A and B are shown apart, each in its own frame.
Chain A
Amino acid sequence: MRNEGTLDRRAVVAALLQDPGDLLVVTGLGAATYDAGATGDRPLNFYLWGAMGGAAMIGLGLALAQPERRVLVLTGDGEMLMGIGSLATIAAAGAPNLAIAVLDNAQFGETGAQASHTAGATDLAAVAAACGWSETVTARSMDEVELLRSRLRHQAVFAVVKISPAEVPRYLPPRDGAYLADRFRRALGVQLS
């Protein structure tokens, strides 16, 4: 059981969210939410602070509702494992404007760094491929992360980024769900009722 990741998670997320434009971003609870907030809070970031396992499916509902926009789900290995069935659901539904990037540190960092399934035999990119995702990638270097940024904004790709398990300073973005949902919808310009 080991973690092979070496990349700094904040540098990875800063690279993936560089010049986000009108990218719609959903983040899974825990460190993915902190990373995205630290990179720069914006109304089109929808942060989860709970609802573990739901990030990818929120991404699907959003992508189906906004087929002309790009949606990026940014989450951790533990959150993705809890919603692992949604990889099959999304593949079955087909959403060309939805991409997922998993920040994989092979542990449950929020709860005491217990090893997750990806520290052992489970390869989430292989799971996604077996569920029917035709584009999957595992990034282990910042060069690969830089290449990934463009793919995540143009393809329905499922990406695993092997990050270091090292803890980084906590950045806490807004956590009032009603506020986050309302400002997201206002920024998107959807009807408010």
Chain B
Amino acid sequence: MPQHSWQRAVYAALKAAHITQLGYVPDAGHAHLITAAQADPNMRDVVLTTEEEGIALAAGAWLGGQRAVLLMQSSGVGNCINMLSLPVNCRMPFLTLVTMRGEWGEFNPWQVPMGAATPHVLAAAGVHVHRADRPDEAADTVAAAAALAFDSAVSVAVLLGQRLIGTKVFVE
């Protein structure tokens, strides 16, 4: 499946889940989703200065009757920990798509500690963790995660594996 094909399917899954606000700290692995959101008059994209802002954004959206998603990289998960108490404590849905670094073929050692810690700290903070490593499972995983989050009012993260998004190349 070509790179953009599964990403288009993931965006379609977000739309099918009636998500209308998309907060993000950019990552190359999310570039297609961000571009698609910016071109979509029915999706409000919000660029964040730090990832935990997106959790509060999603809580506000939910209070106002809308659904949001947060896009971030695994390095941003560490910024989020205390703010994750907001959806958990308020029994609000929360959905985040996390592009993974620090694993499959990683070049930059600075990405490794947080990448390795990501699923564990999310789980410890009360977030249900799903994972996709193959193009053909990405959209299904996001759709199931959105259903779990919004139907059961829990926090759900989908980890998009580095093998799926492609290892970042530093030296061509």
Which residue numbers of A lie inside 8 Å of B, CB to CB?
A: 24, 26, 46, 48, 50-66, 83, 85-86, 88-89, 92-93, 177-178, 180-182, 184-185, 188, 190-191, 193
Measured in the bound complex, the distance between the Cα atoms of B48 and A178 in whole Å is 26
Query: In the docked arrangement, what's the CA distance between A181 and B59, Å?
Result: 9
Could you tell me which B residues sit within 8 Å of A by CB distance? 20-21, 44, 46-50, 52-66, 68, 82-83, 85-86, 89-92, 150-151
Of all A-B residue pairs in the complex, the 9 with the closest CB atoms, nearest first, are A61-B60, A65-B64, A190-B65, A85-B49, A57-B56, A54-B56, A177-B90, A62-B60, A65-B66
Set A58, A177, A190: member contacting B56, Cβ < 8 A? A58
Q: A178-B91, A181-B63 are in contact. Are A58 and B85 (CB under 8 A)?
A: no
B171 CB, nearest partner CB in chain A, Å:
32
Partner of A65, one of B52, B53, B55, B60: B60
* A50 in contact with B53 given A65-B63, A188-B64 (CB within 8 Å): no
Question: What CA separation (Å) do A85 and B64 show in the bound complex?
Answer: 22
On chain A, the residues within 8 Å of B21 by CB distance are 61, 64-65
Residues on the B chain within 8 Å of A188, using CB: 63-65
Contact B91 A177 (CB under 8 A): yes
Q: Known pairs A61-B56, A177-B90, A193-B151. 6 more at Cβ < 8 A? A: A53-B52, A54-B86, A58-B56, A62-B64, A64-B21, A182-B91
CB distance from B38 to the nearest CB of A (A): 13
